A and B are shown apart, each in its own frame.
Chain A
Amino acid sequence: MKKKDVIIVGAGPVGLFAVHQLGIKGLNAVVIDNLDKIGGQCIELYPDKPIYDIPGVPECTGKELTDKLLKQIKPFKTEFFLNERVDEVRQDNKVEWTVKTNKGNEFLSPNIIIAGGVGSFEPRKLPIKEAEKFEGKYLFYSVKNKDDFKGKNITVFGGGDSALDWALELSKFSKINLIHRRNEFRGAPHTLSELKKLEKEGKVLIKTPCQLDAIEGEENIKSITLKFDDGKVEKINTDIVLSFFGLTMKLGPIAEWGLNMEKKTIQVNSANFQTNKKGIFAVGDICSYPGKLKLILSGFHEVALASVECFKRARPNEKYRFEFTTASKTIQERLGKK
């Protein structure tokens, strides 16, 4: 079990700036995120879109903001646990919380800052009942090791880049059916034209406009039924189903930690962003208080205040001193400037 001053749940912009505000106060932290990358909504939903309302930064994309925040917190050498969802929060003694992830990692700390946005990003599941039964064995929402898919009959669902890229890649050593709900694809045109070429050669089968209606099979998948827009149905044989419908945000386990919640947000005291549980804080999109705005700049303010309360809990025998970064030698040392 790792012991830290603060455990941060969520590596979105607000979780990242929390590292900074804690770091300059001399507190160490770990950051845990279910995504495979750092940056939350900025990196997952709009990496290339410009943001115009970060104070002092007239224009930067979601990716640029994430990179800048990472640079700003570099001096603190914070450890990130990605691809891990925080599942459990429990109190083992009077002052400390234990946090457990779905990978079994445990952390102990007097403070938890929940910067969980709208919840953890998870793949959008296929909307039919049988899907669950085959998930992880014959039906997948991502490709971890493409060698697992050699020499199979694979059906790929989706019209975006992930669907097209994997259809093309796996067609090198497997038979591919590509299914999309409309005739137009969103993915890169050149990938699509490669696939159309393979379709002419009979190596790839493209079916549109249709959607999945059923999956047949007992132990493993035998076939799937597609329903076309005109009502026609068609059964095609397949061993493996790959589905690429992007990610959704699922509040998930956060709802079970005994926190006061309202409409998927956590109620906080806006003086220190503490929840109804002492030592558990909520900041960024996931917190609510009168006047809350779901803006990145609001989240930055929220972590500044929360970090003060975290300091008091992590260093009960020290006095908190308000300091400016321009004037404080201690802060400058922590930032590696002196």
Chain B
Amino acid sequence: MGGVEEVGGRGGRNPVVSLWGHLKAVGTGLKYLIAVPRMTVKYPDEVIELPDGYRGMLIYHQDLCISCGLCATICPANAIKMYLPSGGGGGEGGGEKPETPPKRHPGIDYARCIFCGFCVDICPTGALEHSKVHDAAYERVEDMLYRPEEFAAGPPTVEFERPPKRLRPVMDERRGISYEPVG
């Protein structure tokens, strides 16, 4: 067993040393029980201010989109697919080919999206962008699929029952993360 220390092996450790260890562990537990404040944020009554660059649900600017399809190609979760405009107009099959085939546009399935941001990074025209919305809830899984028109309408707005308290996380060397209210 080269180099692997067998913890609590047959020889065991010095019982006095391990007793001290036990006492120290219990002491640490007591310290945390009494003296150390909680870090839980009571969402949805308290909400953390999100930093810039947060990768939330996507905003799609259809006017900038050139239908290159790179976003659908790069998406590792297959969340983005290219859709023909709904309401007919060409498409494959159909006898006569129209002069200019209708353009396809991206739609997104948030049931699949992992918010990796690859689509935003690869989009050559900046048509895709992250919002800070991350807490939309859906009753049916089908509702999570946004076709291009719905995608272009922007991410859903989230409403709170009571106006939440806004908090900003502060890193503290000694206490770890703590939160201070904003505004």
Chain B binds chain A: no
B residues touching A (Cβ–Cβ < 8 Å)?
Answer: none
